[in-house]
Structure 1
Amino acid sequence: MALMTQVKTLRLLREVLLGHGTRVLPYEPDSKPEFTGGGPAQRMPRSGPEAEGMSSVALAQLYCDLAAAKGACVHGLIVARHGRVVSEGWFAPFRSGVWHVTHSLCKSFTGTAVGLAVEEGFFGLDDKVADYFPEYCSLLTSRRTRAITVRHLLTMCSGITFNEMGEALERDWVRAIFESEVAFEPGAKFVYNSMNSYLLSALVKKTTGQGLTDFLTPRIFEPLGFGPVGWEKCPCGIEKGGWGMYLDPEDMLKFGQLYLQGGVWRGPQGERRLIPEAWAREAVRTQITGADGEYGWQIWTREEDGSFLMNGMFGQYVAVFPQQDVVAVLTSGNGNLLTDSVAYTRLRAALAQPHFSDGPLPADPAGEKELARVLAALEFDRPVPPPPLPQPWYRAAWARLSKRARGPQPAPPPRALPPEALAFCGETWRFEKSRGGLMPMILQFMDGRFSDGVRALRIEAAEDALILYWEEGGATLCLPAGWKRWADGRVCMQGETFLTAARAEVKLDEDDQPVLKIQLCLPEHSSCRRIKLSRQEEGVLLRLDESPSLALAISKVVGQAANTGTKDPMSDLLLGGGYPQYRVQQLIAPQLRGVVTHAGDPALAAEAQPAGREITKQG
């Protein structure tokens, strides 16, 4: 099986690098869940920081620190104490009421489903997993494979070698797990592998007859008042378990609060136990320790202070600090796979160490005003501007008198686009064949749907925004980009719908030549695309980049695979230099030359798909 997996890996890599088609997987991948609107059905209570023994000034400083930290790339932060939300900050264009990808954070939901299934008698912690999948076992099934228990999967010490890279090669993931090697004796050591969580998901479905979403809905999602929940499935219709889940960040917060309260939920209808007491206690206690940290049952733990963490790659965190009675949810798009990120370091420094007041603090109107100013000024990947200098009293009084004398004023007209922006409008550029598409390459790999590259681009002016008409995959997408502000839209690619938010500005390069820079964020995701256009004699140069970097993610996944002691061909090909690495760089950050065609012809714009309803306008 290991040799066959390597052959399939090389074949897949060849198809991607050489650009042979958009569907290179051996199966039809599950579509990304479509967000149709709606936040949590039930909100957590709100309160002021001082009322819950916290400082508004300290919270304002935390948001400023996160905004200024290089590489943190924070999308949002919600902090709750004593079961009440004390601050909620969104880094525009990310906003409340839109679900967010959880990545591996959803493993904690999978672990909870296992706990509930154990409590209800469907299987036991020390049951052999192979006993529930006899159809996948034969005389050739190894002793180690037959020895894997539910507990081994929960604590990431099963030794299975079929990993996240392998799932792109096989249609039946359960079969592939049972046919793959087991690198060490189950229980011997901790090796993080998301396929442990997937197999738990398959076990829940096999024994209960329900997938994770259906199983958890009446037991967790509905009692906690969750909003929309989306969870991608494998080709066999099983929730992926270890990734692929979309949730509103406040629903993530409620889930952390549930574990902080020992599995008891205190809602409008009173107290109700949702998770067995023993499971809620043991899941957040260190069960095994590895090179990456301490781990419970699909939850990261810290025996030193009793805190625990539900973590997803690229900075998705539900951080729980029982000593402080604090829960925080932080979503972001940084380049970290596990818990080691500058964002989490700063969050922990601000919330885990201080001993907050058990009772209310004195009211602090100035601090509350500063926190409100900071929350209103948050913007993705930009520091918070300092507060304005106070005006002398006589100037402030004169301004108030003048405003009163003028009376109500009409709304200001829309800002006109400056000449440097208009210089990029009104032409259609055709591009050479490439893999460079609108979606970040890392998202294409995770989604299993690969772009055949941008074919043409046209930009039109629209008041204080640019409208990009982007031809890709046989369709023309309409993408609004606000001029020095965020404009929201919606695009459909290969049958999947994505919310978008884009911001445009013109900067001078090192040769003092204007470059149109467009930052494209995907409010549901951890990834963003950076688009740069510079004029050339016969057209334009289009440069695409992305954050987080696909190369960084590949290197870390390969490093995790190496911990199992297996040889992965991806390592040599993608990280060993030479032509394959050059092709990977061309995939991640292509530079494409576009030639002017049909100057002034709006045909491309006429063919564009509707941009969809704009949800909000971000200033």
Structure 2
Amino acid sequence: MRPRLPGRRTRPVRGEAARLERCPMSDFRLPRVSPEAEGVRSADLLAFVDALESRTRWPHSVMVVRGGSVLAEGWWEPYRRLGRHLLYSLSKSFTSTAAGLAVAEGKLSLDDPVLRFFPAERPAEVNEHLAAMRVRHLLSMSTGHTEDTLPHFARRPGDNWARTFLAVPVNRPPGTHFLYNSGATYMVSAIVQQVTGQKIVDYLRPRLWDPLGIVPPPWEECPRGINVGGWGLSLRTEDIAKFGQLYHDGGVWRGQRLLPATWVADATSKHISNGNDPNSDWAQGYGFQFWRCRHGAWRGDGAFGQLCLVMPEQETVVALTAGIDDFQGLLNVIWDTLLPALGPRRALPANPADERRLTRRLDALSLGSAPGGESCWPSSAAISRRWYTLEPNDLDLTRVSFDLDTPALLLERQGGSTVRLPFGWQGQWAEGRGIEVFGIYDGVPDEGEPGRSDTGHAIAGVAYGDGRPVSTSGGWRADGTLRLTIVLHRAPAQVHLSAKFTGDELRLERSVSGSFLGGVKEPLIGRLTEG
């Protein structure tokens, strides 16, 4: 019988998670040890988890690895250990890895001119800066552009993103200025596909996914079937941790060299300056799709808190998924609370009591910002299962109803179809499907879906079909407001609803966080009707 280790929680698994659980690759797990065995006090890890929850508000998962072994791991309810999570720009570090492998195999050189790979997309007029652009400039975000090329993919007609990229003016000499440019990462993906004859997600399978025991993941594609590179990859938290450990160990995994040591060192070194603020982790230099950090660390990261952080001096890797807005605040939590706990890697005396406290804390994690509140309100009977007809709105919803016995939120769309979203009371979460009625998508294709993007945006406008998995929690506030929070299982986005009932009138206020479509939205206004 396996011992219980910090953060190991047993929950029913279903759907994609059940398929991952059955896959033989699920046996390729990192070893688990007690924190004290690696020189870390369980009490200090408990303080780190407490700070992570209280200071970042929407953490989804965390895994702390030292010396190649997991010290602590946890998933905030309703997120799951085996669930994949959209990585946003953390995908870039994996695209960089594919490029590094292609270089190692002699298929590509960092000094190859970008135009060499796109003769059909070459503009009629080529200035000296575009002519001078090399593969290394794509990787180091120093292409010479003065604006991110990604928005042009959505604005310009046609499906040839490479042609669009090359048409954007290059106003500075490549290699002289840093500009975050997701379009450049797409070009790296397109080049690797050209020289290898495979999409990077397929090219990485025998070279990265299989050796690390990562089930081949979904990765969004452009209309021409090229992985978008700069975003759109979905992985499990432990997959992120394995990737970080591979880079921490100089490209070696369990005695097998997967990446050249020279590539690991080169990719994670500073190639271009991106600022001079000593207190900012966005101003310590940029490598090949990796950020340099304070404290001698480096990271791959993605919007809203997707993180693979490597701290070589402490021999530690931190993997995180989240739905936060303040990324620097998240890193500050690590520097303030975890970093001081990482002393010399010498075993400490066992502390079973503290380890049990840490395990219980990690096993009980749940999104602390769930609405909570009461499950019953004096006016519930007058509201439950009755329909409110809505004024014209941007979501094309016609009616809404609250079944407070089941409980569930019912939303009727134009045409008569109804979406039913079950919810739990008082911080409990109920699973359902149908968040698309709020114009939010998780950006993750289901099995059998092509995973194509029509816009070049990670979530906005990416619609793979209705029925994306979500969980919802609700509760009454003291002022008689019914609050609901809906979270996507596979992406950072959350929808927040506040239903205010005044006589026969309903005001349903709504906002979105953890998404590029975030912000406060126009409220839905309705009036009680029969039927």
Distance apart, 1:469 and its partner CA: 1.8
Of the three residues 371, 394, 398, the one matched with 2:358 is 371
Report the Cα distance in structure 2 between the residues aligned to 1:486 and 1:214, rounded to whole angstroms.
Answer: 36
Tell me if structure 2 keeps the 8 A contact 1:431–1:592: yes
Partner of 1:487: 430
1:550 CA drift (Å): 4.6
CA displacement at 1:546 relative to structure 2: 1.4
Q: Do the aligned partners of residues 112 and 174 (structure 1) sit closer, same or farther apart at CA in structure 2, a change above 3 Å counting?
A: same
| 2:41 pairs with 1:55 | yes
> Deviation digits for residues 57-76 of structure 1, max 9, x if unmatched?
0000011111111x442111
> 1:468-617 alignment to 2 at 5 Å?
468-472=409-413, 474=415, 475-484=417-426, 485-491=428-434, 493=436, 495-509=465-479, 514-548=480-514, 550=516, 588-597=520-529, 599=530, 601=531
Compute the TM-score of the two structures, normalised by the length of structure 2.
Answer: 0.84
Give the aligned partner of residue 284 of structure 1. Answer: 268
Conserved 8 A contact 2:435-2:470: no
State the distance in 2 between where 1:180 and 1:36 align: 45
Q: Is the 8 A contact 2:314 2:342 kept in 1?
A: yes
Supply the distance in 2 between the matched residues of 1:179 and 1:281 (Cα, whole angstroms). Answer: 33
Select which of 139, 158, 165 maps to 2:151. 165
Indicate the SS of the match to 2:424. strand
> CA–CA distance in 2 between the matches of 1:226 and 1:243?
18
Cα distance, 1:318 vs. partner?
Answer: 0.7
Equivalent position to 1:362, from 345, 349, 352:
349
- What CA distance in whole angstroms lies between the structure 2 residues aligned with 1:36 and 1:228? 15
The CA deviation string for residues 104-155 of structure 1, in whole angstroms up to 9 with x for no partner, is: 0010000000000111111200110101101111441222112110000110
The equivalent residue for 2:98 is: 113
Supply the distance in 2 between the matched residues of 1:593 and 1:193 (Cα, whole angstroms): 41
Name the CA distance, whole Å, in 2 between partners of 1:129 and 1:229: 28
For 2:312 and 2:414, the matched residues in 1 are separated by: 50
The yes-or-no answer on 1:67 pairing with 2:53 is: yes
Give me the TM-score of the superposition, normalised by structure 1.
0.72
Give the whole-Å Cα distance in 2 for the aligned partners of 1:422 and 1:272: 65
Question: What whole-Å deviation, never above 9, does each CA across 1:563-596 have from its counterpart, x for those lacking one?
Answer: xxxxxxxxxxxxxxxxxxxxxx7xx421121122
Aligned to 2:407: 466
Structure 2 SS opposite 1:540: strand
Counterpart position of 1:308:
298
Q: Sequence identity, in percent?
A: 34
Would you say the 8 A contact 1:545–1:589 is kept in 2? yes
Residue 123 of structure 1 is matched in structure 2 by: 108
Q: Work out whether residues 421 and 506 of structure 1, in 8 Å CA contact, stay in contact via their aligned partners in 2.
A: no
Displaced runs of 4 or more, over 6 A: none
* Superposed counterparts of 1:323-362, under 5 Å: 323-336=313-326, 340-362=327-349
Match of 2:286? 295
In the alignment, residue 487 of structure 2 is paired with which amino acid?
C
Residue aligning to 1:187 = 175
Q: How many residues align?
A: 471
* Shift in CA distance, 275/423, structure 1 to aligned 2, threshold 3 Å: farther
Letter in 2 for 1:187: G
Q: Show CA shifts across 1:188-211 (max 9, x none).
A: 111111111111011111221111
Give the Å deviation of 1:352.
3.3
> Which secondary structure state, in structure 2, belongs to the residue aligned with residue 288 of structure 1?
coil
| Residues 228, 247 of structure 1: 8 Å contact kept | no
Which structure has the bigger radius of gyration? 1
The one of 451, 454, 478 aligned to 2:397 = 454
1:243 has 2:186 as partner = no
Instruction: After TM superposition, give the deviation of residue 488 of structure 1 in Å.
Output: 1.4
* Residue pair 2:43, 2:354 contacting (<8 A) in 1 also: yes
Give the match's secondary structure for 2:477.
Answer: strand
- SS of alignment partner, residue 590 of structure 1: strand
Compared with structure 1, are the counterparts of its residues 37 and 499 closer, same or farther at alpha carbon in structure 2 (3 Å cutoff)? farther
SS of match in other structure, 1:508: coil
- Which residue identity lines up with residue 289 of structure 2 in the other structure? Q
More displaced 10-residue stretch of structure 1: 421-430 or 282-291:
421-430
Instruction: Give unpaired runs (5+ residues) of structure 2.
Output: 1-15, 276-281, 437-462
Task: Write out per-residue CA displacement over residues 424-467 of structure 1, whole angstroms, 9 at most, x where no aligned residue.
Answer: 311112212222xxxxxxxxxxxxxxxx43322122244xx511
- Residues 168-227 of structure 1 deviation map (CA, whole Å, 9 limit, x = unaligned): 223321111111111311111111111111110111112211111111111101110013
Q: Deviations over 1:229-259 (max 9, x none)?
A: 1111112211111111111111011000000
Measure, in 1, the Cα distance between the counterparts of 2:153 and 2:123.
22
**Contact 1:77 1:88 survives alignment (8 Å):** yes
Coordinate RMSD, CA, aligned: 2.3
Q: Which amino acid aligns with 2:305?
A: G
